[in-house]
Amino acid sequence: MNDQHPALERKLGAFHLWGIAVGLVISGEYFGWSYGWATAGTLGFLIATCFVSIMYTAFIFSFTELTCAIPHAGGPFAYAERALGRFGGTLTGLATLVEFIFAPPAIALAIGAYLNVQFPEIPPKLAATGAYLIFMTLNIVGVHIAATFELFITIAAIIELLVFMAVVAPSFSWDNFIHMGWGAAPHFGWQAIEGIFAAIPFAIWFFLAIEGVAMAAEETRNPKRAIPVAYCAGVLTLVALAFGVMIFAGASGDWTSLANLNDPLPEAMKRVVGQHSPWLSMLVWLGLFGLVASLHGIIMGFARQIFALARARILPGFLGKLHGRFHTPHRATLAGGIIGIIAIYADSFVSIQGQSLTAILVTLSVFGALTMYGASMISLFVLRKREPGLPRSYKTPAYPVLPIIAMMGALVSFIAVAYYNFTLFIGYALILLLATIYSTARGRRNETDTPLSAD
């Protein structure tokens, strides 16, 4: 194999990509989102979720055009570099890397906490580390095996969410959902609006990382056909699940008792079917599948992003090598995993403004994602104008309305998250800018004739 032109194997179809799209995100339906209730109440968070759902749907229906036109493992990095130059591409690629590097430790810690409840003798951080090692290994041994596993556990997680909604349905009451619906605000007004903006990061958690499918484009048999099907079906699946889970959980009883929990679904089911119901046991056990699907899928994503950035000489070149037997980016997988495991053990002594490391990691991931969303939509506009002849097997419907909605939604969301996490925003912005300047200069010094677009 020529190390200068490493080639990923094309083995994935539309069904695999749909599984990756939903699996990357589905842990967000199981935990994290309910903190939005504590911030904005059920009605306020419902509005925040509607806003974010519109933003993500518009974004995915627009982003798919870029993924089909430029099927590249670097995803947003490749689109932005082609449209905005080396600096814009590097900034977008590093922002994407922030999103995909810092989300997995938060999910792994949730897995560790879950297993600790079931098996108190297993330390949560040890369990989180074990989860990392298992799924790093699975990703290294082959993309088809990894994607098939992702598809299986994603389907299991979806079935479990549908079972949850069916089991709590007999206790469904809109009166429960709208009771104290604006949270701490007595009625809809400025205080309620402020709560809605503060709840946006928790609504984003319903959808964060779906764009990771773009990083599997070079491993897809027919990306021009498979990617639009997977992306569009994936985002619609997630929108339906997000609203279904949130509404059924909130309408099943006193939603305030779920608002500050990491496991709102088992608690909601418990008050309907009782502590010892077999339905509850099934939810508790299979609920782990949602966490596993997201951890495993995002590991696939960060490995491809590191690989692509290293191949472009933005990151050290040795990270852009493929395994000789499995043809997977093993060094990139290991590098991202090491960072994640370090983050897991830093949880005990890292805090910013009273936030736990888990909350910090989630917020950093959101910053990275929103930066990338805005840059990708700008790239779409630039490429439409600059390269009208670029082959586009899929074109954004209702252009330019949808990309404008996505871009403005990302901007509003970014401002809201930065306002409520200003110290973290300053750190994120400074580090990203300095890293972009350094990496851009480094990339130019080491520039090679390696092509950006995969054949």
CA 182-366-431 angle, to 5 degrees, is 135
pLDDT digits (tens, 9 = 90+) for 406-449: 999 999 999 999 998 899 999 999 999 999 998 888 766 665 44
Q: What is the pLDDT of residue 349?
A: 62
Distance between CA 106 and CA 9 in Å, rounded? 30
Are 343 and 102 within 8 A, CB to CB?
A: yes
- Number of CB atoms found within 10 A of residue 425's CB: 18
| Listed range (68-72, 139-143, 223-227, 290-294) with the worst mean pLDDT | 139-143
| Listed range (67-76, 207-216, 275-284, 378-387) with the worst mean pLDDT | 275-284
Distance between CA 330 and CA 343 in Å, rounded? 20
Mean pLDDT of the chain: 87
Distance between CA 106 and CA 30 in Å, rounded? 13
Q: What is the pLDDT of residue 451?
A: 43
DSSP-assigned letter for residue 222: S
Residue type, 227: I
To the question of pTM greater than 0.95 for the whole model, the response is no
In this prediction, residue 235 has a pLDDT band, given cuts at 50, 70 and 90, of: very high
Domains for the chain: give ranges and CATH numbers. Answer: 14-443 (1.20.1740.10)
Half-sphere exposure of 443 (CA within 13 A, CB side): 25
Q: What is the pLDDT of residue 2?
A: 40
pLDDT (mean) for 175-202: 91
| Listed range (61-75, 88-102, 280-294, 325-339) with the worst mean pLDDT | 280-294
Q: What is the pLDDT of residue 1?
A: 37
Question: Is 381 or 139 the better-scoring residue by pLDDT?
Answer: 381
Residue type, 397: P
Highest mean pLDDT among 118-132, 136-150, 272-286, 374-388: 374-388
In this prediction, residue 343 has a pLDDT band, given cuts at 50, 70 and 90, of: confident
DSSP-assigned letter for residue 84: H
Q: What is the pLDDT of residue 353?
A: 55
- Number of CB atoms found within 10 A of residue 155's CB: 16
| Listed range (15-24, 246-255, 274-283) with the worst mean pLDDT | 274-283
Q: Mutual orientation of helices 264-273 and 278-311 as an angle, nearest 10°?
A: 170
Residue among 371, 345, 341 at smallest CA distance from 436: 371
pLDDT digits (tens, 9 = 90+) for 203-213: 998 998 899 88
Percent of the chain with pLDDT over 70: 92
In this prediction, residue 356 has a pLDDT band, given cuts at 50, 70 and 90, of: low
Residue among 102, 122, 169, 79 at smallest CA distance from 337: 102
Query: Is pLDDT at 60 greater than 60 in this prediction?
Result: yes
